[in-house]
Amino acid sequence: MPDILIRPATLDDAAAMCAIYNPYVASTTISFEEQPVAPGDMAGRIAGVHEAGLPWLVACDGDRLLGYAYATKWRARPAYRTSVESSVYLDAGASGRGLGAALYRALLDALRTRGVHMVIGGIAQPNARSVALHEKLGFRKVAHFSEVGRKFGRWVDVGYWELRLA
């Protein structure tokens, strides 16, 4: 993917991220949010990730943002400081070209440089494409919680995959 640039996210990317993310909110159980996210709120999330010293990356084709990936703290207690939860979202038209894997690899590389030990991916079930992506990158399934979310009037399971970086 020679024309794709993967770079750190800026607050100016927030509106484009919302355009990618909000369809997941509105029509899937991939995200457990139930209301669209406003650009100001997304900018606050980006700032919070950066303040925590964690990466938030975007993939761009010229001026067009095609996807993003970021990590957040796994838990608040200090002993969890070397574990993170990862998230990757792609524009619907950008899937199936290897962009998700390229973006995720860049995120994992950025996490390694920050001394992160464990990356955890939570995946609402079913989601075969996300499971395949995580397993392609070396994640292994370690947990499955039944009916822990409820969206669109139905129960949703969540599985957890982990990848040890160091």
User: What would the 3-class secondary structure string for the chain be?
Assistant: CCCEEEEECCHHHHHHHHHHHHHHHHHCCCCCCCCCCCHHHHHHHHHHHHHCCCCEEEEEECCEEEEEEEEEECCCCHHHCCEEEEEEEECHHHCCCCHHHHHHHHHHHHHHHCCCCEEEEEEEECCHHHHHHHHHCCCEEEEEEEEEEEECCEEEEEEEEEEECC
Rounded CA-CA distance 119/87 in Å is: 10
Q: What is the pLDDT of residues 67-109, one digit of tens each?
A: 999 999 999 999 999 999 999 999 998 888 899 999 999 999 9
CA distance 158 to 146: 7
The pLDDT assigned to 93 comes to: 87
Cα separation of 48 and 42, whole Å? 10
Q: Which domains does the chain have, with CATH numbers?
A: 4-164 (3.40.630.30)
Q: What is the pTM of this model?
A: 0.95
Q: Tell me the C-alpha distance between 61 and 4, whole Å.
A: 5
pLDDT for 84 equals: 98
Q: How far apart are CA 122 and CA 20, in angstroms?
A: 19
User: Quick count: other Cβ atoms within 10 Å of Cβ 36?
Assistant: 12
Name the CA radius of gyration of the chain, rounded. 15
The Cα 6–Cα 20 span in angstroms is: 16
Q: Using 50 as the pLDDT threshold, list the residues of the chain that sit under it.
A: none
